[in-house]
Amino acid sequence: MKTFIIFLMIGIVFNLTVVDKAGSSYLIYKGMASWYSEEDPGILETTANMEIFDDTELACAIWGLPFNTLLKVTNLKNNQYVTVRVNDRGPARRLVRQGRVIDLTKTAFQEIADLEQGLASVSVEIL
């Protein structure tokens, strides 16, 4: 019961939906995606899993999923998507409260939206 309550609370915070499709379940997060780069102030040389940070990789920062999980991130306005690998934690807690669910590397964000937008409304599926 305690596990269910925790899962429910995470779902409310991250706008999480469990979908059953042809017998297989996957999770979908919906919210805002932002991007980060080596040039951003405060960016560390290493990611949370201790890899050298490289904003040219198709990678992301997200809370609550294991490192190396593959995700399909789809821009809800243009249906463009990118497959990324979890190698970092984020967005910052204060940004999560503002509806951000994932931070993409600069290169990954460019695959689905214009960098100048800064944010994109996305869905995130676990592959």
- Residue from 106, 101, 96 nearest 121 by CA: 101
With a cut of 70, say whether residue 47 has pLDDT above it: yes
In the numeric block, which tokens belong to residue 18? 């469990």
Q: What percent of the chain has pLDDT over 90?
A: 50
Tally Cβ neighbours within 10 Å of residue 106: 17
Over 90: is that where the pLDDT of 23 sits? no
Report which secondary-structure segment, H or E, holds 112. Answer: helix 106-112
If you search the block for the tokens 């309550």, which residue do you land on?
Answer: 5
Q: What is the mean pLDDT of residues 50-55?
A: 88
Predicted structure pTM score? 0.77
| Predicted confidence band of residue 15 (pLDDT cuts 50, 70, 90) | low
CATH architecture classification, 2-126: Beta Barrel (2.40)
Report, as an integer, the average pLDDT of 83-91.
Answer: 91
